[in-house]
Amino acid sequence: MEFKWKQKEKPDEKIVSSLEKSLSVPHKIAWILAQRGITSYDEAENYFRPKLSDLHDPFLMKDMDMAVKRLETALMNDENVMVYGDYDVDGTTAVSVVYSFLQGYSNKVSYYIPDRYDEGYGISKLGIDFAKEKKITLIIALDCGIRSVELVAYAKSLGIDFIICDHHLPGDELPDAVAVLDPKRADATYPFKELSGCGIGFKLVQAFNQKNNREVDTLYEYLDLVVVSIASDIVEMNGENRILAYFGLKQINESPRIGIQALLNTYKQKSNYSISDIVFGLGPKINAAGRIADAGAAVKLLIEKDFHEAVTFTKVLLERNTERQGLDSGITQEALEMLKADKDLEKKSVTVIYGKEWHKGVIGIVASRLIENYYKPTIVLTENDGIMSGSARSVKGFDIHDAIEQCSELLLQYGGHKYAAGLSLKSENFEAFKNKIEKIVADGINEDLKVPEIEYDAVIDIDDVSPKMLRILGQMEPFGPGNMKPIFRTNDIQDTGFAKVLKEKHLKISTKNKRQRIDAIGFGMAHVYNKVTQGKPFNACYTIEENEYNGQKNIQLNLKDIK
Question: What is the CATH T-level fold of the domain 62-250, as seen in this structure?
Answer: inorganic pyrophosphatase (n-terminal core) (3.90.1640)
Partnered with residue 354 across adjacent β-strands are 381
pLDDT score for 547: 87
Cβ atoms 291, 362 nearer than 8 A: yes
Distance CA 310, CA 326 (A): 25
Q: What percent of the chain has pLDDT over 90?
A: 79
Cβ atoms 558, 521 nearer than 8 A: yes
pTM of the predicted model, to two decimals?
0.90
Cβ atoms 264, 251 nearer than 8 A: no
Residue 497 burial class via C-beta count within 10 angstroms: exposed 0-12, middle 13-18, buried 19 and up: exposed
Q: Which helix (H) or strand (E) holds 68?
A: helix 64-76
Low-confidence ranges of the chain (pLDDT < 50): none
212 φ/ψ angles, rounded to the nearest 5 degrees: -100, 20
165-211 pLDDT, tens per residue? 999 989 899 999 999 999 999 999 999 999 999 999 999 999 999 99
Amino acid identity of residue 6, one-letter, is: K
pLDDT score for 550: 74
pLDDT score for 296: 85
Q: How far, CA to CA in Å, does 403 sit from each of 6, 212, 389, 433?
A: 27, 44, 16, 11
pLDDT score for 158: 98
Q: Residue 397: helix, strand or coil by DSSP?
A: coil
Query: By C-alpha distance, which of 438, 354, 454 is closest to 400?
Result: 438
Q: Considering the domain 454-563 in this protein, what is its CATH number? A: 2.40.50.460
Q: How many CA atoms lie within 13 A of 488 on its CB side?
A: 23
Boundaries of every domain in the chain: 13-46, 62-250, 342-450, 454-563
Cβ atoms 182, 56 nearer than 8 A: no
pLDDT score for 294: 75
pLDDT score for 119: 81
Query: By C-alpha distance, which of 506, 421, 512, 500 is closest to 462?
Result: 512
Cβ atoms 546, 518 nearer than 8 A: no
Distance CA 437, CA 184 (A): 25
Q: Which helix (H) or strand (E) holds 554?
A: strand 552-562
Distance CA 534, CA 548 (A): 29
- Enter the DSSP assignment of 278: I
Q: Considering the domain 342-450 in this protein, what is its CATH number? A: 3.10.310.30
pLDDT score for 216: 85
Query: By C-alpha distance, which of 154, 224, 240, 227 is closest to 192?
Result: 240
Partnered with residue 488 across adjacent β-strands are 458, 542
Distance CA 27, CA 15 (A): 11
